[in-house]
């Protein structure tokens, strides 16, 4: 293998890349040191393809909780059929002893990262030059805005730790064209944003997320209502057995009558590897890279809580900040499901239906809730959107294995739970034509309406709370409040 072939074209440091790999092969079981490396570098930063393949293999061994050294890395590359492509056993042996110690690995990473940034800067400049030949002379502001966007991306996504974007003058920015990220689901979700799909327990959320992935991967409408922009999708499956998840995908594809082309839907089965997202995120980012995916799906989100409490605002805020970092650093939209709290959801605002801390239902950029409709197998869908115009509520019907739009139903008619509709507070009020004691009311309600004793007292409390009934004296008779 000719490592040096055609390397003079772009900024690079082969020695620094080799030093990083050599150090990682020497770290062995030092998980904290490997975590620190993963937070600062990924395969995309390497210029030499063989080095990218070796780093990916090292991270795969780490994810599988296997030892990392010359022997395990060599065997793993051989099993993948990539050993000879990266230079064979001799080149791996050379890497293992390229530096005498791993103590300076962070300095080597800094060199590799700086060279990567330099390459990306040159790429941005070349794109800008090419654009000057494509745009009319009277539109230089458009090219300038695109260049500034690329520079800002380099600064915020690939800059040194602790770098903050520059403070901008609003008037100057408003005078230029506004370039926003593309929608992944039209009118609902754009790149670099977060979307939560809220629903009751066992309300087909995984099926819905699978349908979302397939819709974007094939460029077909989501829920038969929202156009999607076709893009590559990564589905991180943290719960289902791999074969079971593939079976579900097949059911959805067959029902939609679509075929997923190679390169448009990647599956990462991490059942048994779920962990606190703060610990898993560096490894995820190391594999995902930048601008490879239009949409990333996390399913289910509770598997990434770790030791955090879903009812504590601070814990959930930190989790969602990590999801936001994933969205920004990968350039992808990130979607996940969240379960409803217990109780009658029809009596709550849509924002208050999602269980756990209220941050779950207020932080995401796109909030989509699926609440049971009074019609069997139907759900009212409501949206709260930060970056898109409002969408009127609508109804979908569950027709295994998909949700389909149901335009004939009123989304306001949500399913009521709890006390049967037969026992209404007004029905009890109609029986109290004159002041009555609790004993008299219980007896009358049982004889004339068949209302149970416990329900009578619940209705009495409701009538007092709403100001329709009063009890002037403690334990005295109840009487109607004049209208």
Q: Return the CATH number at 435.
A: 1.10.10
Report the domain count for the chain.
3
Same domain, 103 and 199: no
**Which residue, 293, 220, 298, 297, is CA-closest to 255?**
220
Q: Are 260 and 267 in contact (CB under 8 A)?
A: no
Q: How buried is 227 (Cβ within 10 angstroms: 0-12 exposed, 13-18 middle, 19+ buried)?
A: middle
At 211 the pLDDT is 97
Same domain, 464 and 350: no
Q: Where are the beta strands (DSSP E) in 23-122?
A: none
At 337 the pLDDT is 92
Domain of 434, in residue numbers: 425-480
Residue position matching structure tokens 């040096």: 4
At 161 the pLDDT is 45
Same domain, 347 and 235: yes
Q: How buried is 62 (Cβ within 10 angstroms: 0-12 exposed, 13-18 middle, 19+ buried)?
A: buried
**Which residue, 283, 293, 222, is CA-closest to 258?**
222
Same domain, 192 and 97: no
Domain annotation covers residue 172: no
Angle at CA of residue 327, ends 337 and 371, nearest 5°: 20
Angle at CA of residue 128, ends 158 and 183, nearest 5°: 65
For the chain (483 residues), the mean pLDDT of every run of 10, in chain order, is 52 90 82 72 87 89 82 92 92 91 84 86 82 64 67 56 63 82 94 92 90 97 95 95 95 95 93 82 73 92 87 84 88 92 67 72 90 92 93 95 93 73 79 88 85 85 84 80 77
Q: Of 51, 81, 112, which residue sits at a domain end?
A: 112
List the structure tokens of 335: 């979607």
Dist. CA 277–CA 317, nearest whole Å = 12
Chain-centre distance of CA 394, in angstroms? 23
Dist. CA 51–CA 18, nearest whole Å = 8
Dist. CA 112–CA 119, nearest whole Å = 11
Dist. CA 57–CA 95, nearest whole Å = 14
Q: Are 359 and 321 in contact (CB under 8 A)?
A: no
Separation in Å, CA 404 to CA 221, 226, 407: 11, 11, 10
pTM for the full model?
Answer: 0.62
Same domain, 213 and 291: yes
At 335 the pLDDT is 96
At 7 the pLDDT is 44
At 175 the pLDDT is 84
Domain annotation covers residue 160: no
At 142 the pLDDT is 66
Same domain, 356 and 431: no
At 343 the pLDDT is 65
């Amino acid at each position: 293998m000719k490592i040096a072939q055609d390397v003079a074209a772009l900024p690079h440091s082969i020695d620094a890349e080799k030093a990083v790999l050599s150090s990682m092969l020497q770290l062995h079981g030092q998980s904290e040191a490997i975590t620190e490396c993963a937070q600062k570098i990924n395969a995309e930063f390497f210029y030499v393809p063989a080095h990218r393949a070796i780093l990916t293999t090292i991270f795969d061994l780490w994810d599988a909780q296997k030892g990392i050294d010359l022997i395990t890395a060599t065997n793993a590359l051989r099993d993948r059929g990539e050993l000879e492509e990266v230079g064979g056993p001799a080149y791996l042996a050379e890497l293992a002893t390229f530096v005498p110690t791993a103590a300076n690995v962070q300095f080597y990473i800094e060199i590799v990262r700086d060279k990567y940034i330099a390459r990306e800067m040159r790429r941005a400049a070349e794109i800008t030059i090419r654009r000057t030949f494509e745009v009319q002379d009277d539109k230089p502001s458009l090219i300038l805005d695109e260049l500034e966007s690329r520079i800002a991306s380099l600064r915020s996504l690939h800059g040194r730790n602790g770098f903050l974007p520059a403070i901008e003058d609003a008037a100057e920015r408003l005078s230029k064209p506004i370039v926003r990220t593309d929608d992944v689901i039209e009118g609902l979700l754009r790149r670099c944003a977060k979307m939560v799909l809220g629903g009751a327990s066992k309300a087909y959320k995984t099926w819905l997320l699978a349908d979302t992935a397939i819709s974007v991967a094939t460029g077909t409408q989501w829920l038969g209502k929202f156009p999607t922009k076709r893009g590559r999708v990564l589905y991180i499956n943290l719960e289902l057995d791999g074969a079971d998840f593939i079976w579900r995908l097949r059911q959805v594809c067959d029902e939609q009558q679509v075929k997923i082309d190679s390169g448009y839907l990647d599956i990462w089965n991490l059942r048994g590897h779920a962990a606190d997202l703060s610990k898993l995120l560096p490894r995820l980012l190391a594999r995902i890279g930048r601008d490879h995916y239009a949409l990333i799906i996390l399913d289910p989100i509770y598997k990434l809580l770790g030791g955090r409490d879903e009812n504590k605002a601070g814990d959930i805020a930190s989790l969602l900040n990590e999801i936001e970092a994933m969205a920004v650093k990968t350039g992808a939209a990130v979607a996940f499901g969240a379960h409803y709290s217990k109780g009658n959801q029809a009596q709550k605002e849509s924002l208050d239906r999602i269980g756990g801390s209220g941050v779950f239902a207020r932080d995401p950029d796109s909030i989509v809730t699926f609440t049971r409709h009074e019609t069997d197998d139907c759900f009212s869908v409501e949206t709260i959107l930060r970056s898109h115009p409002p969408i009127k509520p609508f109804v979908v019907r569950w027709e295994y294995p998909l949700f389909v739009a149901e335009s004939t139903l009123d989304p306001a008619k949500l399913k009521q739970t709890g006390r049967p509709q037969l026992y209404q507070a007004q029905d009890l009020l109609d029986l109290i034509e004159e002041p009555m004691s609790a004993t008299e009311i219980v007896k009358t309600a049982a004889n004339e309406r068949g209302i149970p004793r416990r329900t009578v007292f619940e209705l009495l409390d409701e009538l007092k709370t709403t100001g329709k009934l009063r009890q002037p004296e403690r334990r005295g008779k109840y009487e109607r409040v004049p209208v």
